[in-house]
Amino acid sequence: MVSVLITFSRITILIFVMVFTLLDVIQIFEAKIGEDLSGIFSTIQSIMVVCFLINGSIILYYVKEDPRIIILAIFQLALFIAISISMTKLNYGKSGALLNNMLMLLSFSFIALERLDMSRATRQFVFAIASAGIAILAMLVLKNIKHINRKLFIFALVGIALLLIVHFTGKVEYGAKLSLSFGGISIQPSEFVKLTYLFFISGCIVTYKDMRGFLFSTIGAALHVLVLVFSKDLGTAMIFLVAYVFIIFIAYKNYIVLSLEFIVAFAGGIFAYNRFPHIQSRFIAWSDPLSVIDDKGYQITQSLFAIGSGGWFGSGLTNGQPNKIPVVTKDFIFAAISEELGAVVAICLIVIVMCTSIMLFNRAFACSSSFYMLIINGIAIIFSIQAILNIGGVIKFIPSTGVTLPFISYGGSSLLSMFICFYIAQCSDELIYINKGRRRYD
């Protein structure tokens, strides 16, 4: 009976995800298709999210015979409703395409984690509730800070200080210093520094209209990146670097500076390659993983076995062996999804991530303050590059960098920082009105 359910669900899950994805591609052109149509699509998308979550939960419940899964599913739906209401309240009823994407990514995360590791799934759900609460609070705080763009040096100091603390006291994981431990809870400060970093760079550019903006932001960015490089957190260093380069490009529209910065970044990459043996070993694991399958290539080969064995339509949820992949709940969760739900669903997931990225850029484009325009661009860039580094590493498109997949990988710090990012993107116009004492425009 259970195996029939799984076989049947291979089709239904595929349909839910594909319908969602198809509408998502249309929703990129939100501004063109009109509010009414977009609203209908959003509603259908929300239904698909709910169907997907319920379908996955039912399979997991029958296979694991664990009542916690049903309880979790109910609370997850309640959380989704709470998030939807809070976002609508905060931004006066904008269409929910971006919101739907965030909820879909969260659903993928909940189902994958419940399948892989029940205790982590429960904790991740608690993190999600906390993150939503903190993000709403953060919006209320941001609304009430006057001239937030002029507080740029505070953001820079806080950011660099946090990174330095990690550098000197953090514990080493997979060859890099990433996290701090407080009484059993480990946090990754670099996830929050991403936010202060964006506020700092955008603040510099908006506050100083002359060369000082460029100069200060460059020095600040360089300091951040250097500390990260010396902590050997090269994945994050790369994200910061790319975010800086692209924000500067959007702000100053200068193709020459863009090319120059690419050259500097490229040279930096070569320097890092020669300087750090653990980057070299990741390159070897990428170029010929079977030659080091016992050692450095083990993880990526297991990931490719999982994706390849799952094939286009997957082995069916709970039928695969994704737990063979080391760190599957964090960096390699995409492979677990692809193995059991199939490469077609995995490809849909890439499309959903791509559409999310474009919708974030849409939000930046439509934003009425140049300060938040830059920040939302930064959020879009960080979200995109992180997804590319993660998925690309899992499918052997690029060497693995140990970066998490936004909203889907296990980990509270990354989840919280992404929540805040998406709330900012969704509610930016509200944040500005209060700041500037202006209420409405048409």
Partner 1 sequence: MTKKKTTKKAIRKEIYVIAIMFATVFIAMIVYLSYYVKEGAKDFIYNSYNSRFSAFSDDVTRGSIYTADGHIIAKTSYDDSKQEIRVYPDERLFSHAVGYVDQGMAGLEAYYSFDLLKSHISLKDQINNNLSGKKSPGDDLYTTFDYETQVAAYEGMGMYDGAVIAIEPSTGKVVAMVSKPDYDPNTIATYWNDINSESNSKSVLLNRATQGAYPPGSTFKIVTTIAYLRANNGNSDFSYNCNGSLKVGDFTIHCSSNKSHGSENLLKAFSNSCNSAYAYMGINLNKDEFTETAEELLFNDTLPTQIEATKASNFSLANSDDKLVGQTSIGQGNTTVSPLHMCMLVSAIANDGELMEPYYADKLVSAEGDIVSQTDEKSYGQIMSDSEVDLLNEYMEAVVMDGTADSVDFGDLKVYGKTGTAEYTTNKSMTHSWFVGYAIDNTGKELAIAVIMEGAGYGSKHAAPLAAKVFNAYFQ
Site of interaction with partner 1 (CB under 8 A) = 1, 3-4, 7-8, 11, 246, 249-250, 253, 290, 293, 298, 301-302, 304-309, 311-312, 315, 319-321, 324, 338, 343, 346-347, 350-351, 353-354, 357-358, 361, 364-365, 373, 377, 380-381, 384-385, 387-388, 391-392, 395-397
- C-alpha distances in Å from residue 24, one per residue of 99, 148, 359, 426: 11, 34, 10, 17
Which residue bears the tokens 């904790």?
Answer: 123
Gyration radius of the chain over CA positions: 21
In the complex with partner 1, the residue whose CB is nearer, 76 or 390, is: 390
In the complex with partner 1, the residue whose CB is nearer, 106 or 248, is: 248
User: For residue 349, which of 302, 400, 405 has the smallest C-alpha distance?
Assistant: 405
User: For residue 338, which of 263, 408, 425 has the smallest C-alpha distance?
Assistant: 408
Helix, strand, or coil here: 185? strand
In the complex with partner 1, the residue whose CB is nearer, 133 or 269, is: 269
26-34: long-range contacts at Cβ-Cβ below 8 A with a sequence spacing of 24 or more?
Answer: 27/97, 27/355, 27/359, 28/355, 28/358, 28/359, 28/362, 30/95, 30/97, 30/359, 30/362, 31/362, 31/366
The dihedral built from the CA positions of residue 262, 365, 96 and 139, taken in this order, carries a sign that is positive
- The nearest distance, CB 308 to partner 1, in angstroms, is 3
Cβ neighbours for 327, distance < 8 A, ≥ 6 positions apart = 299
What is the rounded distance in angstroms from the CA atom of residue 19 to the CA atom of residue 13?
A: 10
In the complex with partner 1, the residue whose CB is nearer, 72 or 385, is: 385
- The nearest distance, CB 219 to partner 1, in angstroms, is 23
- The nearest distance, CB 153 to partner 1, in angstroms, is 27
- The nearest distance, CB 216 to partner 1, in angstroms, is 21
| Beta carbons of 26 and 332 less than 8 angstroms apart | no
In the complex with partner 1, the residue whose CB is nearer, 253 or 439, is: 253
What is the rounded distance in angstroms from the CA atom of residue 215 to the CA atom of residue 200?
A: 13
Q: DSSP secondary-structure letter at 404? A: P
In the complex with partner 1, the residue whose CB is nearer, 320 or 402, is: 320
- The nearest distance, CB 286 to partner 1, in angstroms, is 13
- The nearest distance, CB 34 to partner 1, in angstroms, is 15
- Per DSSP, the residues of 47-69 read HHHHHHHHHHHHHHHHHH--THH
In the complex with partner 1, the residue whose CB is nearer, 180 or 347, is: 347
Q: How many other CB atoms are there within 10 angstroms of residue 313's CB atom? A: 14
| Beta carbons of 29 and 38 less than 8 angstroms apart | no
In the complex with partner 1, the residue whose CB is nearer, 136 or 364, is: 364
In the complex with partner 1, the residue whose CB is nearer, 241 or 307, is: 307
What are 285's strand-pairing partners?
Answer: none
- Supply the angle between the helices 97-116 and 35-64 in degrees, to the nearest 10: 10
Half-sphere exposure of 101 (CA within 13 A, CB side): 32
In the complex with partner 1, the residue whose CB is nearer, 112 or 360, is: 360
- The nearest distance, CB 271 to partner 1, in angstroms, is 24
- The nearest distance, CB 291 to partner 1, in angstroms, is 12
In the complex with partner 1, the residue whose CB is nearer, 384 or 413, is: 384
- The nearest distance, CB 401 to partner 1, in angstroms, is 14
What is the rounded distance in angstroms from the CA atom of residue 160 to the CA atom of residue 315?
A: 46
Q: DSSP secondary-structure letter at 398? A: S
- The nearest distance, CB 254 to partner 1, in angstroms, is 10
What is the rounded distance in angstroms from the CA atom of residue 357 to the CA atom of residue 243?
A: 14
| Enclosing H/E stretch for 318 | none
- The nearest distance, CB 115 to partner 1, in angstroms, is 15
